[in-house]
């Protein structure tokens, strides 16, 4: 198995999040077609039963001792053999888009390398938590290809066009601290606290109304021309939701105390 899937309980309630741990330490979690297939299986489950997803990496043994690693990129041995029809199939871009479109939020918890496809995987998440020494970059141009699985448009949305150009066209690698300053990363945490930080973030999300969060996620990615009409429609759905009445009544009752 290229991915280990577990569940964690959030806070004191019964809400659970799914944790997917990339587990190919012998190749620094390089993303191959087997890993892609397992991610598709996981997405199918989360489309049927929406839950918050946390994607993280494993710990690999290195010459300097155990080190965390998210994903070092696509599997170059496989990538070298791909041809035009493989590119048109969108092997990696397809799974990253599916992850980005999951009903519930996705959190990437990043330690170590998040390069090439690894960064594109992290970019498909709604939130990113990282260690200060994580490494973010898109070295595809050095290999004679482009970052064709989402970085060419998602990256500039996160960090702006000037910095995106440096990363994509000049090979710049950002540390976790630099990525946080550039707003590519939402939060920083030390390696031994990384998963706890991701769980805490998942807990804050889970404390909100799931339907309101789900609709907000969908509306955020819609073109400007769709607003405000889609906002009105979504709000109409929520105005009839039992959760809206329960949550507003609880707010008013608490305010009276």
Q: Looking at residue 112, which CATH number applies to its domain?
A: 3.90.226.10
Domain match, 112 and 136 both: yes
Domain match, 163 and 101 both: yes
66: which DSSP letter? Answer: E
Could you tell me the pLDDT band of residue 12, with boundaries at 50, 70 and 90? confident
Portion of the chain with pLDDT greater than 70, in percent: 100
Does any domain span residue 17? yes
pLDDT of 67: 86
Tokens 């930080």 correspond to 197
The CA distances from residue 118 to 26, 41, 70, 157, in Å, are 16, 19, 7, 17
Could you tell me the pLDDT band of residue 62, with boundaries at 50, 70 and 90? confident
Does any domain span residue 27? yes
pLDDT of 106: 98
| Whether the predicted pLDDT of 61 surpasses 90 | no
Domain match, 200 and 220 both: no
Report whether 150 contacts 207 (CB < 8 A): no
Domains of the chain: total = 2
Radius of gyration of the chain from its Cα atoms, rounded to whole angstroms = 19
Q: Which two tokens stand for residue 154?
A: 């998602």
The count of other CB atoms within 10 Å of the CB of residue 212 is 17
β-strand pairing of 174-175 with 135-137? antiparallel
Higher pLDDT, 11 or 69: 69
Domain match, 136 and 250 both: no
Could you tell me the pLDDT band of residue 92, with boundaries at 50, 70 and 90? very high
Domain match, 63 and 179 both: yes
pLDDT digit string, tens, across residues 125-175: 999 999 999 999 999 999 999 999 999 999 999 999 999 999 999 999 999
Does any domain span residue 70? yes
In whole angstroms, give the CA distance from residue 194 to residue 192: 6
Does any domain span residue 3? no
pLDDT digit string, tens, across residues 171-211: 999 999 999 999 999 999 999 999 999 999 999 999 999 99
Does any domain span residue 2? no
Domain match, 141 and 240 both: no
Does any domain span residue 142? yes
Domain match, 150 and 171 both: yes
Does any domain span residue 114? yes
pLDDT digit string, tens, across residues 214-256: 999 999 999 999 999 999 999 999 999 999 999 999 999 988 8
Residue 28 domain boundaries: 8-207
In whole angstroms, give the CA distance from residue 44 to residue 61: 32
Domain match, 133 and 247 both: no
pLDDT of 255: 81
Global pTM reads 0.96
Does any domain span residue 190? yes
Domain match, 124 and 217 both: no
Could you tell me the pLDDT band of residue 63, with boundaries at 50, 70 and 90? confident
Residues forming the active site: 120, 140
Q: Which of 168, 186, 207 lies at the terminal end of a domain, its last residue?
A: 207
What's the mean pLDDT when you consider all of the chain? 95
What CA dihedral angle connects 125, 103, 35 and 15, to 10 degrees? 90
Domain match, 187 and 237 both: no
Domain match, 158 and 104 both: yes
Coil, helix or strand for 61?
Answer: strand
Domain match, 182 and 214 both: no
Q: Which two tokens stand for residue 188?
A: 């920083």
């Amino acid at each position: 198995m290229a991915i280990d899937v577990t569940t964690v309980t959030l806070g004191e309630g019964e809400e659970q999040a799914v944790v997917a741990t990339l587990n190919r330490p012998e190749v620094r979690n390089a993303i191959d077609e087997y890993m892609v297939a397992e991610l598709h299986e996981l997405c199918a489950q989360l489309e049927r039963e929406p839950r918050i997803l946390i994607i993280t990496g494993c710990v690999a043994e290195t010459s300097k001792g155990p080190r965390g690693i998210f994903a070092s990129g696509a599997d170059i041995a496989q990538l070298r053999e791909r041809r035009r029809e493989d590119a048109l199939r969108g092997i990696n871009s397809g799974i990253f888009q599916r992850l980005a479109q999951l009903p519930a939020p996705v959190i990437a918890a990043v330690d170590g390398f998040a390069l090439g496809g690894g960064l594109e995987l992290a970019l498909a998440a709604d939130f990113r938590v990282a260690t200060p020494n994580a490494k973010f970059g898109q070295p595809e141009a050095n290999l004679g290809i482009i970052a064709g699985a989402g970085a060419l448009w998602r990256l500039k949305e996160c960090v702006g066009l000037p910095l995106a150009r440096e990363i994509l066209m000049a090979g710049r690698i950002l540390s976790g601290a630099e990525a946080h300053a550039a707003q590519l990363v939402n939060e920083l945490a030390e390696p031994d606290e990384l998963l706890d930080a991701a769980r805490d973030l998942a807990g804050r999300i889970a404390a909100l109304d799931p339907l309101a969060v789900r609709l907000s996620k969908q509306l955020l990615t819609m073109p400007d021309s769709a607003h405000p009409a889609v906002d009105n429609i979504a709000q109409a759905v929520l105005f009839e939701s039992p959760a809206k009445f329960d949550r507003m009544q609880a707010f008013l009752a608490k305010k009276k105390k």
